[in-house]
Chains A and B, each alone.
Chain A
Amino acid sequence: DGGITQSPKYLFRKEGQNVTLSCEQNLNHDAMYWYRQDPGQGLRLIYYSQIVNDFQKGDIAEGYSVSREKKESFPLTVTSAQKNPTAFYLCASSGDAGANVLTFGAGSRLTVL
């Protein structure tokens, strides 16, 4: 079955450490996205990529980095520069040029100790 796989589901990190969240899709979608979700808030866009080897900053890119070396993969690194990294991170992809519906992964919950 086609879909998006995020790993790990839960991750604990000490302050000052970088951590990388994995996102893989087998939907053959061109565009991929990373969102951050905090309680009581809507999803906020961190980074997005519309094609391999290209990506753009979203609304809250500071303290995060991404790469898009393969169509299927869009990993997100949460660096030590991110002041408040504890959150639920959602990866999504889209391939429909019309309605541009997003397909989401199950999410990764990062907790900084």
Chain B
Amino acid sequence: GEDVEQSLFLSVREGDSSVINCTYTDSSSTYLYWYKQEPGAGLQLLTYIFSNMDMKQDQRLTVLLNKKDKHLSLRIADTQTGDSAIYFCAERVHKLIFGAGTRLAVHP
């Protein structure tokens, strides 16, 4: 079946790197996405990666895709307090499947 799993919580110190992990089950995923949700708001797209790529970098964000292990990660370099939010991983097969979200807390 289709399933996307993420750990629910991550706490990091300001200035450190954050790594948020995600596993998915459907190997026929075409695209995989990372969305960010701030409190009381909708989701905003951070980045996405096509399934034939293994890495994508965009400023402070690095996405790594391991298709063999069906593992996706999002690394945020130099994490700031403004990065505190819930981060959702999603895969597209014939529709979008979202994980439950990882709440990132950034402390001084």
Residue positions of A touching B, CB distance < 8 A? 4, 6, 40-43, 45, 90, 92, 99-107, 109
A101 CA / B44 CA spacing, docked (Å):
10
Q: How far does the Cβ of B49 sit from chain A's closest Cβ, in whole Å? A: 9
Interface class of chain A by DSSP: loop
Partner of A102, one of B8, B50, B96: B96
- Interface residues of B, CB < 8 Å — how many? 22
Q: Judging by beta carbons under 8 Å apart, are B95 and A45 in contact?
A: yes
Interface class of chain B by DSSP: strand
Residues of A within 8 A of B45 (CB): 101-103
Q: Judging by beta carbons under 8 Å apart, are A107 and B8 in contact?
A: no
**Which of chain A's residues has its CB closest to B48's CB?**
A99
Q: Judging by beta carbons under 8 Å apart, are B48 and A90 in contact?
A: no
- Other than the given A42-B101, A102-B43, A103-B45, 17 more pairs (CB < 8 A) read A4-B42, A42-B4, A42-B88, A42-B98, A42-B99, A42-B100, A43-B88, A90-B42, A90-B43, A100-B96, A101-B45, A101-B48, A104-B35, A104-B42, A106-B41, A106-B42, A107-B40
